[in-house]
Amino acid sequence: MKKKRPGTVRIIGGKWRGTRLPVPDLTGLRPSGDRSRETLFNWLQADIHGATCIDLFAGSGVLGLEAASRGAGQVTLIEKSRVAAAAIRESAQRLDAEQVQVVQTDAIEWLADCESQSMDIVFIDPPFCSSLERRVIELLSMGDCLNTGALIYLETAWETPPLVPPPAWEIIREKRLGEVRMQLLKKN
């Protein structure tokens, strides 16, 4: 039996537009599609330039690398899988993305140890039906890692009940794309 070749994702905007990045063939790895990224970065276009971004559950790295391509000042990608983190590092080196840092660790543990980071934009796209997004939102709302006005993007399965935002947070955008629920929240 022939082994399936790993796929690719394409950066859809910014200075690396059209660049294809390899995606390791890992169980549960589900890169955000072009349509959802196009919608997300349309929502973020006024806020992305110079922003400090964190991509939790980075997977393929496409959200964080798309942010860097569009002018984010600093992007940290958190990925637990050694194989996926290595692939993201290789992609960042190939792009000469100096503003990108890849950290191979568990996103929940990283957030629990997070001390006064100054995050402007957070991407939360955990494995579907894992409920990890609830714990991440709880940690973010209790800590002081987010700047006032920070934007939090949450991508979950449509069947997952919608998130009720913590106090001082609001849902500013929400959309369904196929079986995906996209929410953009803001910390006030």
Alpha carbons 83 and 104: distance in angstroms, whole number: 9
Is 2 part of any domain?
no
Domain count, the chain: 1
4-31 CB burial, b ≥16 within 10 A, e <16:
eeeeebebbbbebeebebbbbeeeebeb
Is 100 part of any domain?
yes
Which residue range is the domain that position 18 belongs to? Answer: 7-187
Is 57 part of any domain?
yes
pLDDT band of 94, cuts 50, 70, 90: very high
Interacting residues of 120 by C-beta distance below 8 A, sequence separation 6+: 47, 51, 52, 53, 147, 149, 150, 151
Residue 177 belongs to domain with CATH number: 3.40.50.150
The average pLDDT across 133-155 equals: 91
Is 1 part of any domain?
no
Is 102 part of any domain?
yes
Residues of the chain with pLDDT > 70, as a percent, come to 95
pLDDT band of 1, cuts 50, 70, 90: very low
pLDDT of amino acid 128: 74
Tokens 């790295």 belong to residue: 61
pLDDT of amino acid 42: 97
